[in-house]
Chains A and B, each alone.
Chain A
Amino acid sequence: MDLNIFWYLVPSVIMFAAGVYGFITRKNMIAMLISLELILNSADLNFVVFNRYLFPGSMEGMIFTLFAIAIAAAETAIAISIIINIYREVGNSDVASVKQMRF
C-alpha cells in the first residue's frame, strides 16, 4: 500500500479537533495546556507534510516548523510559570477557581 499525503493529514486533523475539544471541555489548567500543544503540533505536522509531498524541492516548511517548535516551548514555559503562581494563590489548578473577574 502506498502512503500518500492523505494518511498524514488525517492524523493532523484529528489532533487539531481533539485539541480544540479538549481546550473547551477540560477543567484543569495543565490539561488545557496539553490540548493547546496538540493544536500547535498539528500545525507543525501540516507544515512538514505539505513541504515533503507538495514542494519537495524547498525547505521552507521544515524551517518554519523548527521555529514554531521553539515558540511553542517558550509559550509553554510562560504558561506553566503563571499556573504555578496561581497554584500558590488558590491551592489548586482548577479553571473554576479563577473566576473573580467576570462579566
Chain B
Amino acid sequence: MDYSQFGAMLPELIILGLFLVVFLLDTFTKDGSAKRFLTPVTTVLFGLAAVAIWLIPSCGTEVFGGMYVDSAACKAIKAILCIGVFIVLLQSSEWVESDEVAIRKGEFYELLFVTLFGMFLMISARHFLLFVIGLESASLPLAAMVAFNKKHYQSHEAAFKYIITAVFSSAVLLVGLSFVYALSGGSLYFDDIRAAIAGSEMSGLLVVALAFVIAGIGFKLSLVPFHLWTADVYQGAPTAITSYLSVISKGSAAFAFFVIFVQAFGTVYSGLWEWMMYAVIILTITIGNLFAIRQKNMKRFMAFSSISQAGYIMLGVMTESALGLGSMMYYIFVYVVSNLAVFGVISAIENKTGKVGMDDYDGLHKSNPWLSFAMTLAMFSLAGIPPFAGFFSKFLIFTSVTASGSMPLYMLVLVALINTIISLYYYLLVVKAIWINPGEAKVEAFRSAFTERLALWLCVGGIVFFGLVPCIYDYCVNTAALL
C-alpha cells in the first residue's frame, strides 16, 4: 500500500492531529493546574489549523482508488467551515469554563473535532461507503454533544429526539442506497452510478431510491417535511452546540448534497429529482417562515429561521451548475457569519443572565448598545437588506437559478422572493424588541468576555465587508468550477 496517499488528505489529518493533541492534554494533565490552559491552547491551535487549511494548495488528486477527492472546491468549503468552527470555539469558551461544564471541557473539544473530521470526509467522498462513514461520524458525536448539559432535563430530551431522527434518517438512507446499488452495476462510486443509470430507462426502483436518499439527507439538512426534530433540538441543546448544528453541520451537508446529486444522479436531473427538490424547497422556505413568526424563544426562533435558510441554500442544487455551486458556497459563507453573530449575542446574554425569550430583549439598546448593534446588523443580513452581505448572497443565488432561463425556475425564485418579504417581518420583530419596544431594559448592562467580543467583531466584519468585497464571490465561483 502506498502511504503517500494520505498526504492528499491534509485537512483531515490536521483535524485528527488536533484531536489527538487535545485528547492527550486532557488525559495527562491534572485538574486545576495545567488544565486551565486547555481552552486557550485549543482555540489558538485551531486558529492556526484554520489558517493552514486556507493556505495549503489543493492538488486535485484522487486517492484510495478515487474514493476521496482533494479538489479546489472541497478545500474551499472546508476552509469556510473552519472559520465558522473557530468563531464557535471563541463563543463557547465562556460556557466551557463555567463551573458546570469545566470538568468535562476536554470531551467537548474532542467530540467537536471528531464531528468536524466526519464532515470533511463527507465533503470529499466520491464513494457512498466513505460518504456514509463520514455522515455517521459527523452525526453520532453530535448527539452526545446535544446531551452535554447533564443537569438540564431539556438537554436530554433534545438529545433523544435528535438521535432517534438521526438513526431513522440514516436507516432510510441506507435502504435507498441499497436500491441504488442494485441499479448501479455493482459499484458505489458516484461516477459508476451516473454511467449506469444514464444508460437504463427510468424504473420505479430508481424513483424510490432517489426519494429515500433525499429523505435521508433531508433529515440532516432539516428540509420540510423532515424538519420536525429541528426546533426541539435547537431549543434544548446548549447554545454553543446549537450554533454548531445550525451552521457547520448544515453547510457541510448542503455541499455533500450538491456533490451527490450532480455527480451521481446528474443525468436524471430533469426526469426525476428536479420536481422532488422543487416541491421540497418551496415547502421548506414557506413552512420555515410561517412557523418562525409565532416563536417566542430565541433559540426556537433561530431553528425555524435556519430551516427557511436551508431552503435558500438548496436553491443552489436546483441549478446543477458550477455557478450554482459557487453561489451556494458564498451563501454558506455569509450564512456562517450572520447566523453566528446572532448566536454570539444569544449566548453572551444567556451566559450572563440565563434569559433566551424574545421579550427579554425589550429595550436592550439602553443597557447593551454594542450587543444590540451586532444583533441588528445580523438580523438585517439574514433578512437580506441591501448594504449587508445577506442581500448579495440572496441576489447571487437567485441570479444563478434564473441563469438557465426555464419558466419553472423563475416561478421558484418568485416564491423565494415573496418568502424573503415574509421573513423580513419576523427578523425585524427582534430589531423592534431591541430598539422600539417601550419599558426599561430587562437585561442589565454587562461587559462580555474578550473571546465573545472578538467573535462578534469577526462576524460583524464579515457581515459588512463580504458583500462589498467582490473577490470573495469570485473565489467561490472560480473554485466551484474545479469540483
Contact = CB atoms under 8 A, between A and B. Distances in A.
A47 B181 contact: yes
A71 B186 contact: no
A51 B181 CA distance: 9
A101 B300 CA distance: 10
A75 B175 contact: no
Nearest to A41: B171
Contacts of B150: 85
Interface string A56-77: 0110110110011001001100
A75 B135 CA distance: 12
Contacts of A32: 164
A100 B157 contact: yes
A54 B143 contact: no
B198 to A, nearest CB: 19
A47 B184 CA distance: 12
Interface string A23-55: 100000100110010011011101100110011
Contacts of A18: none
* Interface range on chain A (Cβ under 8 Å from partner): 35 or more
A101 B157 contact: yes
A58 B189 CA distance: 14
B5 interface: no
B188 A64 contact: yes
A43 B171 contact: yes
Contact of A98 (B157, B163, B172, B179): B157
B195 to A, nearest CB: 15
B156 A82 contact: yes
Given A55-B186, A64-B132, 13 more contacts: A36-B171, A44-B174, A50-B181, A51-B181, A60-B181, A68-B174, A71-B170, A75-B166, A86-B156, A86-B157, A100-B153, A101-B232, A101-B235
26 contacts: A19-B171, A36-B171, A39-B172, A40-B171, A43-B175, A43-B177, A46-B182, A51-B186, A54-B186, A55-B186, A57-B186, A60-B129, A60-B187, A64-B188, A67-B129, A67-B132, A67-B133, A68-B132, A71-B136, A74-B136, A75-B140, A75-B166, A78-B144, A79-B143, A82-B163, A86-B157
